[in-house]
Amino acid sequence: MNCSFELLEFLKNQDINASLRDPYWWPNSGSFEVVVGAVLTQQTKWERVEESLENLKVRDLLSLEKLASLEPLFLGELIKSSGFFRQKSLRLIKLANEILNEFGDFENFQERVDREWLLAQKGIGKESADSILCYACKKEEMVVDRYTQILLAHFGYEFECYDEIASWLKEGLGDAKGLNELYGKEISLCEVYARFHGKIVEFCKNRVKKGVLKI
């Protein structure tokens, strides 16, 4: 494998239904739910996050305004399944309030937020920031997670840091023409990045389950 385009081709040829529920793979992409999911998924399994999100969804609490006004103890109880729940509860409430103070509403946040602002927020690292930018705000950012690092190491690639991996993944994809041909439609770069990352995660999870890949 010589470049990220070849990795994407390889993954697209595997039997992975990564975008069955959402074309951008992350459930309910383009919504505030992604921001919450991106924080909750830190240091835990996605399946535990789904449980927490469901607790919020059934109580109709998955909006920026509602989350911002929750009591930390109450939110903590609802997101217990995601682990580190006291810390995550405080950080989510603070983040929601910072978004409201800076941007006024979620739509304006989606349009105007940048990586620098997100990285300045407590508890938001590069992976969370890029998840929010790509999946909640539909910006052209590629998420690098543990699965990505493990898969690239498996193919013999070594990188110095997060940003170097992201650049390698983005820059090796070539031009829009090649990507449109690969997908058989006109596709935005953001959707390519989203689906690429989704395929990496689903492929790795499947391989881990089969015992072929170790995390």
| Interactions with ligand 39A, residue window 177-206 (CB under 6 A) | 201
Told to check if 41 binds ligand 39A by CB under 6 A, we report yes
Min CB(167)–ligand 39A separation in Å: 21
Question: Which of residues 4, 8, 11, 26 is near ligand 39A by CB under 6 A?
Answer: 26
Q: Three-state SS for 101?
A: helix
Q: Three-state SS for 140?
A: coil
Listed residue (191, 194, 147, 166) closest to 46, CA to CA: 147
Is-contact 144 204, C-beta < 8 A? no
Told to check if 19 binds ligand 39A by CB under 6 A, we report no
Q: Considering the complex, state which of residue 15 and residue 116 has its C-beta at the smaller distance from ligand 39A.
A: 15
Is-contact 139 124, C-beta < 8 A? no
Min CB(46)–ligand 39A separation in Å: 3
Told to check if 46 binds ligand 39A by CB under 6 A, we report yes
**What DSSP designation does 81 have?**
G
| Residues found near ligand 39A in the complex (CB under 6 A) | 26-27, 41, 46, 201
